[in-house]
Amino acid sequence: MADISLQGVYAQKRRQFRVLGSGSDRFQPDFVDACNDAIARINRQADLATRISRVTKPEGTIDLDDAYTDVFSDLVTMRLMDLGQRPSQGMEIDYAELSKNMDDRIDSIRQDVLNQAIAADTDDETDFVGLGARG
């Protein structure tokens, strides 16, 4: 399990959104805010036992399996658009389509984490006596 690289997501979002001139000064703090909002939503909706930590810059990693990079990236995209960032020409994004199944996609993270915990449960149930009193 590798964590999600913020540098990779940041580079992708810089290409995806118009980041020119003074807009680049605003993009980095908007990106950090969007990441933190995405992290908060995943923490809240996926009900993770270990919470993902907030970020302060577009570097490092977040403690979420990179298999969920697409969900995290789409959440960041949605929040960047909410913050007024606009996609580059040719990179138009259908906000409604992105948000349509987002709750289900986040729930899949929760379900995967739950399935992993169940699979990792090493309790040996062969010792189970049963319900009721024993002789």
Place of tokens 């020119």: 20
SS (H, E, C) 26-93: HHHHHHHHHHHHHHHHHHHHHCCCCCCCCCCCCCCEEEEEHHHHHHHHHHHHHHHHHCCCCECCCCCC
Residue boundaries of the structural domains of the chain? 3-114
Give pTM, 2 decimals. Answer: 0.81
Amino acid type, 49: A
Please report, in tens digits, the pLDDT of each residue of the chain (135 residues total).
589 999 999 999 999 997 765 556 789 999 999 999 999 999 999 887 789 999 999 999 999 999 999 999 999 999 999 999 988 888 788 888 888 999 999 999 888 888 877 787 655 555 444 444 455
